[in-house]
Amino acid sequence: MSADKARAMGRFITFEGGEGSGKSTQVKLLAGHLRGAGYAVLETREPGGSPNAEAIREYLLSGKAEDKGPKAEAMLFAAARMDHLENTIRPALQAGTWVLCDRFMDSTRVYQGLDLDAQTIDLLEKITVEKTRPDMTILLDLPAKEGLNRARMRDPDAVRDRFEKEEEPVHEARRQAFLKLADSDPGRISVFDASRPAHIVETMVWKACRRRFDIRTPMGV
């Protein structure tokens, strides 16, 4: 595909991983590389990314939905995702913008999937995501203990949200669930060692992205 033609089509790249694994950091860094290569880029996140979905995010992370059970929480994440896709992601992709999203459907599989059966998760994913599946998913893999330390060092006085306050073994089980997902879908999900310094992870992610989408840059930088 010619570079001009590639620029006319938006691509959808999602970032997944545990808390503090560096997703927000790497979204920004990859966005900078892509913009430098001439692409229009939208940085977004889940839950959130549209006004209605941001309202649902506040409700979910406050923990107010927790006592309604995992199925209700999963449905709220799905409702937020549906709005985000409809009002932010799909319009951007249709306009030729590359969308970089901090967490997406794999987070539901991992966070809600540990408490729900696979059929429920499959059904919710089918209803919300439809055909707008990520072209590439970057999984930042880090031992849970290290991610939690990084998140705490970033903001030592912050009140822990609904998911952050859970114990380290729960976060480690999620890490293993992400790795299992990557094993089951290696064509879409690429795993990166997020314990390396941020600039090394940045270089690895940009290299993988250039290769995946055949992005040519002067001198390969």
Catalog residues that contact ligand Z5A under the rule CB under 6 A: 17, 19-25, 45-47, 77, 103, 107-108, 111-112, 150-151, 154, 163-164, 194, 197-198, 201
Residue 78 near residue 108, CB atoms below 8 Å: yes
In this complex, which beta carbon is closest to ligand Z5A, that of residue 10 or of residue 49? 49
Residue 56 near residue 79, CB atoms below 8 Å: yes
CA separation for the pair 61, 130 (Å, rounded): 25
In this complex, which beta carbon is closest to ligand Z5A, that of residue 72 or of residue 198? 198
| Length of the chain as a residue count | 221
Residue 120 near residue 71, CB atoms below 8 Å: yes
In this complex, which beta carbon is closest to ligand Z5A, that of residue 77 or of residue 178? 77
**Least spacing, CB of residue 59 vs ligand Z5A, in Å:** 12
**Least spacing, CB of residue 6 vs ligand Z5A, in Å:** 28
**Least spacing, CB of residue 51 vs ligand Z5A, in Å:** 17
Edge-to-edge strand ranges of the sheet holding 136-141:
41-45, 98-102, 12-17, 136-141, 189-193
**Least spacing, CB of residue 30 vs ligand Z5A, in Å:** 12
In this complex, which beta carbon is closest to ligand Z5A, that of residue 186 or of residue 197? 197
CA end-to-end span of the chain: 20
Cis peptide before 169 (omega within 30 of 0): no
In this complex, which beta carbon is closest to ligand Z5A, that of residue 77 or of residue 213? 77
**Least spacing, CB of residue 193 vs ligand Z5A, in Å:** 9
